[in-house]
Amino acid sequence: MAASTLQFPLPIQGVIVDLDGTMLDTIADLTVATNQMLVVLGEQPLPESVVRTFVGKGLRRLVERALARSVDGVAEATAVTAAMPIFERCYAAVNGTQTQIYPGVVAGLTQLRAAGFPLACMTNKSSAFALPLLARQDLAEFFSITVCGDTLPQKKPDPRPLLHICEQWGLAPAQVLMVGDSMNDVQAARAAGCPIFAVPYGYTEGRAVQRHEVDAIVATLTECISLIKKV
């Protein structure tokens, strides 16, 4: 990881937080849904450890990787399109049932809100799954804005979702911190001009977060508050 050239504590006016792998450990539900889909399609199920590496580019890419059985795999577009409604039915039935909130998330969000930072959730997961999941985990109340994978035409790593939130808040990207777990988050933040912190425990598509050019690695969300200041 390249050393950050920024001076801490960073002058920040808003914080955007990723969902899967940053706030919520959703891998058990995603694995169940993925394997139920594969069984319906006559394919062999995959270990959770493999499915974990497939998460990070949205549900369609997860399905494509599962069909190809490789993180770099490519499947026929028609096959992915046909598999998507099967996966969505399976996932809707289990969404949130085994999901766990990572340690420090509620405390970290509470600290940030108490310090006066507006909070947004940004995820590539579609609203049909992300919004019920946030509500089920009692996290929805923390966020003034939630941008899902179908809110805009673009998804991470495109910077547009971050820029959309900055525009809604009336803030410059440099004033808004992104907290995530994957290269998707890093690329989106860098392209938008936002500082980026990463947690080390999420879904990294097989690439350790320490290899990414982030401004800080925080063990939990509670560490963010000591590295930023409200301006």
Q: Which of 186, 118, 181, 170 lies closest to 146, judged by CA?
A: 118
> Which one from 18, 20, 25, 185 is the annotated catalytic residue?
18
Contact criterion met (CB below 8 Å) for 205 and 185 = no
Q: How far is the C-alpha of 215 from the C-alpha of 231, rounded, in Å?
A: 19
Residues ≥6 apart with Cβ < 8 Å to 211: 1
Q: Does the annotation mark 18 as catalytic? A: yes
Report how far residue 189's alpha carbon sits from residue 148's, in angstroms, rounded to the nearest whole number. 16
Q: For residues 99 and 140, give the distance between their C-alpha atoms in angstroms, rounded to a whole number.
A: 15
Catalytic annotation, residues: 18
